[in-house]
């Protein structure tokens, strides 16, 4: 199926990757709305005009980054929530998984947290859309649980959003936590917050 694409398109995707990576690196210390086209091309080492061969604007590049940063997250979400029991060890594992993801893709996490409410409308929209998809997936997984008997679709979705938002908050806290003790504090708090939510879930007046 995957035909070894020619030298031509291979090179194109190579510089495209370089542009995305350079942008992601530059965005650690600024927001997308201040990211210059020339700034990115300079970091890569190509002419400013080469940028247009790949993206219409920096906002367009931003949308591509959203797909990249959140698209790869779906499987993780699914495996985290699925299985459906909300035991303590499960919660501990979920927080660990978030921490691990932040370690693996810190720039992606920072980008999403920053641009979710950022100054570039199309990017905000793209993030909102992807997070809504996440919430919907989480909802579907929650529905499989026997604990969800009697829950309305609406209630499941509101719980799913609560989980997704909580996940993002925790990820952002991990990002700011530099030393080990601070990380431990974040882990501790996030774990108990999830535990409290699960407790509320168990006692939710359903049916």
DSSP at 203: T
Instruction: Compute the distance between CA of residue 23 and CA of residue 13 in angstroms, rounded to an integer.
Output: 15
Minimum Å gap between C-beta 207 and its own copies is 15
Instruction: Choose between 42 and 78: whose C-beta lies nearer to DNA.
Output: 42
- Considering CB distances under 5 to 8 angstroms, the limit depending on partner class, which of DNA, its own copies, none binds residue 66? none
Measured CA to CA, the distance from residue 34 to residue 86 in angstroms comes to 42
Cβ proximity of 207 and 149 under 8 Å = yes
What's CA 45's distance to the chain center, in Å?
Answer: 29
Q: Which is closer to its own copies, CB of 77 or CB of 123? A: 123
**Residue 15 binds DNA, judged by CB under 7 A:** yes
SS3 of 120-160: the string is: CHHHHHHHHHHHHHHHHHHHHHHHHCHHHCCCCHHHHHHHH
Under a CB-based contact definition with an 8 Å cutoff, are residues 166 and 197 in contact?
Answer: yes
Tokens of 19: 């542009």
Cβ 205 to its own copies shortest distance, Å: 8
158 makes contact with its own copies (CB under 8 A): yes
Window of 34-42, 143-151, 160-168, 175-183 that interacts with DNA by CB under 7 A: 34-42
- Indicate which single residue of 52, 121, 152, 165 sits in contact with DNA (rule: CB under 7 A): 52
By rule CB under 7 A, what count of residues binds DNA? 24
Select the residue interacting with DNA from 21, 39, 137, 155 (CB under 7 A).
39
Per CB under 8 A, the list member of 12, 37, 76, 204 interacting with its own copies is 204
Residue 193 phi/psi, 5° resolution? -65, -45
Q: Candidates 49-57, 79-87, 100-108, 116-124 — which segment interacts with DNA by CB under 7 A?
A: 49-57
Can you read off the two tokens belonging to residue 160?
């799913």
Q: Residue 44 and residue 17: Cα distance in Å, rounded?
A: 10
Residue ranges that bind its own copies, judged by CB under 8 A: 27, 29-34, 110, 113-114, 116-119, 121, 154-155, 157-159, 161-162, 165, 169, 172, 188-189, 192-193, 196-204
Residue ranges that bind DNA, judged by CB under 7 A: 6-9, 11-12, 14-15, 36-39, 42, 45-50, 52-54, 57-58
């Amino acid at each position: 199926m995957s035909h070894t694409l020619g030298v031509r398109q291979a090179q194109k995707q190579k510089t495209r990757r370089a542009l995305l990576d350079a942008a992601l690196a530059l965005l650690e210390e600024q927001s997308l709305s201040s990211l210059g086209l020339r700034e990115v091309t300079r970091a890569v080492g190509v002419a400013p005009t080469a940028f247009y061969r790949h993206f219409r604007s920096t906002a367009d590049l931003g949308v591509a980054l959203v797909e990249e940063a959140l698209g790869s997250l779906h499987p993780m979400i699914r495996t985290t929530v699925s299985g459906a029991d909300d035991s303590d060890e499960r919660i501990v594992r979920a927080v660990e998984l978030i921490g691990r993801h932040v370690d693996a893709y810190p720039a992606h996490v920072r980008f999403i947290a920053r641009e979710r409410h950022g100054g570039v409308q199309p990017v905000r929209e793209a993030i909102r859309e992807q997070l809504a998809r996440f919430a919907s997936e989480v909802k579907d997984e929650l529905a499989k649980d026997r604990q969800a008997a009697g829950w309305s679709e609406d209630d499941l979705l509101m719980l799913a959003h609560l989980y997704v938002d909580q996940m993002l908050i925790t990820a952002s806290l991990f990002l700011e936590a530099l030393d080990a003790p601070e990380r431990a504090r974040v882990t501790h708090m996030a774990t108990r917050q999830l535990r409290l939510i699960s407790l509320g879930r168990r006692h939710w007046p359903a049916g």
